[in-house]
Structure 1
């Protein structure tokens, strides 16, 4: 079973991901799945090696995260 997820990437990140996927002879979707799996399996994230938890962003009055 799979889940559909909408992911918004900045143009520059999208271009780099497309290039990396092509270099790995994968579709962008397949490449993104492999990157997420590696991050999960390693117990960390690219920004937080070792799995240090992120500090949640404060919520706006709308109840949504202030992140774009």
Structure 2
């Protein structure tokens, strides 16, 4: 990551709690967990969006 941008993000409490649990299971910070999940989703979207 060359550059970082700080944002304020509002999440439903239930989603936040789930993400906290997932980040602890993966031994990542909450921020790293969110970034990881977004990067995985972006990668899967990039591969499925390509036309043959």
TM-score (norm 2): 0.80
- Structure with bigger helix share is 2
Q: Which runs of 5+ in 2 are unaligned?
A: none
Q: How many residues matched?
A: 46
User: Which protein shows a greater Rg?
Assistant: 1
Q: Which runs of 5+ in 1 are unaligned?
A: 45-49, 52-68
Compare relative contact order (CA 8 Å, sep 6+) and give the higher one, 1 or 2: 2
RMSD: 1.4
TM-score (norm 1): 0.62
Structure 1 runs (4+) deviating above 3 angstroms are none
